[in-house]
Every structure is written in structure tokens, then in C-alpha cells.
Amino acid sequence: MPRIVTYNVHRCVGNDRRLDVSRIAAVLAALNPDIVALQELDVGRRRTNYADQAHEIAEQLEMACHFHAALQVEEERYGDAILTAYPERLVKVGPLPGYDRMRALEPRGALWVEVEIGGKPVQIINTHLGLIPREQQIQAAHLAGTTWLDHPDCRWPAILLGDFNATATSVVYRTLTARLKAARRLTRRRTATSTFPSPLPVLRIDHVFVSPGIEVHDVFAPFDPLTRVASDHLPLVMDFDVA
């Protein structure tokens, strides 16, 4: 059964303020995923010792890696990645629109990779939305439109996942569930899915949304001594089949 994980890794700095890329890789390795969507990765940044965090984690998991820099200043990059052990191809990367009235907001983006599962192509889109509600709404509408989910090449089945910084009561959530289904609502198991903050998770702001053709078996956020400290978010895990 395939397993996909979305995980905001907080540039691999844990709640103990320790920078440790291998600890993030260990969290993921313990989950034994087939596809991983990561947010808040540093690549070549002074603050994290110039490491290429995306490729270091991918190497430790023995996966292919596609990285998109939402923010780039000279050689320093910061953004999101999709890692997978399946046959894959990069379809698209790109920025998400901001909120014009607040021009100093952190740039946001999305990353789209097609993976082949059992001979069937599955579209995987990873994103990390902004912090301001109006900004999030603009970005969610953009993702739901013809540039991403409604793009002619985004043929079902598809999975949209990441850190949306928005709960299930938000306009963002309603915008995306008008196109896709929330994975946690498709499983009969009642496992914990709150992911933030990791020491005492009370908010569901990391989500997995799925199209028809994805059969969800379980969605859960592993809560253990390692996940509680490795990042400020817990990973969110989905077990599924391609129908």
C-alpha cells in the first residue's frame, strides 16, 4: 500500500533549537514513505551551514528529489520539495500570487510531480501557503484554477498536500474541497491528525486533499518523542491505493 507524507521541517531546526538534517531524515525513515512532500527547506543558506537539505534528506531516504525555491537571494534558496522512490517526472514549479496590499510578505510557491504507481500516473502537488487569510484565499483560488488543479495536464488521480496555514473552518479549506476531498474525512479510522505545534498539537493546518481515483485507508500524525522535537510541525501521513 503506498504511503505519502507531508512535513514542514522548519529548516531542520527542532524545538530544541538544534539544526539536524539527519534527525528529520530519521523521522521520515521510521515512517517508511513512498512519497514525501517537504516544506521550509534551506538550500545553500548561511544560517544552516550552506547545506542542501532537500538532497541530503533524499539521499538518506534513497529517493529522487525535486526542489522549488519559493525564495532566492543570490545563491541562497528556501522552499519546498517532493521526494519519491517511484518513477517520476517534474511537471511544473512556480510562484503563487501574493496579496498586493502587503508587498513585504514571504514569497510562496508550488511544485508538481507526476509519479507512476503500479503503472498508473498520479499527480502530486506540494505547496506552502502564506500566513495572512486574504493572501491564503488568493493562493488557494490560484491552486484550484487553470494553472494547477484545473490544468489540462492535471488528470486524475491527483493529490494536493502541504502546509496550508489554515484550518478546516477557513475559506481556503472550502475552496479546495470544492475541487477535491479532504483525505482525513474519507477514512473510518479516528486517528489524531493535528500537526501544530508539535509538542502539543492542537491545530490542523497541514492537509492532504485527494481526487477521485485515490482510495484513502488511513491519515494520521505520528506523535512520539522524536517527532515532538524534530520540527515545529508533526508529519502528516496518508496510506492509500490508486483505484
Q: Considering the chain, what percentage of its residues have pLDDT values greater than 90?
A: 91
pLDDT of 124 higher than 80 = yes
Choice between 103 and 197, residue whose per-residue pLDDT is larger: 197
Fold for the domain defined by 3-242: Deoxyribonuclease I; Chain A (3.60.10)
d(CA 76, CA 6): 23
158-163 and 108-117 strand pairing:
unpaired
pLDDT for the residue 67: 97
Q: What pLDDT score does 4 carry?
A: 98
Residue 43: φ, ψ to 5°: -130, 115
Which single residue is written with the C-alpha cell 533524499? 58
pLDDT at 110 over 80: yes
Do 114 and 89 meet the contact criterion of CB atoms below 8 Å apart?
yes
User: What local confidence, expressed as pLDDT, does residue 106 receive?
Assistant: 85
Give the residue-averaged pLDDT of 184-210: 94
pLDDT tens string 212-240: 999 999 999 999 999 999 999 999 999 99
How confident is the prediction for the chain on average, in pLDDT? 95
pTM for this predicted structure: 0.96
- What is the predicted pLDDT for the residue at 189? 80
| 66 touches 41 (CB < 8 A) | no
When mean pLDDT is compared across 90-99, 122-131, 234-243, the lowest value belongs to: 90-99
SS3 39: strand
pLDDT tens, position by position, 40-89: 999 999 999 999 999 999 999 999 999 999 988 888 899 999 999 999 99
Task: Write down the pLDDT at residue 37.
Answer: 98
Phi–psi pair at 220, nearest 5 degrees: -155, 160
Q: If we measure between CA atoms, which residue out of 208, 191, 203 comes closest to residue 232? A: 203
DSSP string across 123-191: EEEEEE--SSHHHHHHHHHHHHSTTTTTSTT-PSSEEEEEE-S--TTSHHHHHHHTTSEEGGGS-S---
The mean pLDDT value for 98-119 works out to: 86
* Residue 12 reports pLDDT greater than 80: yes
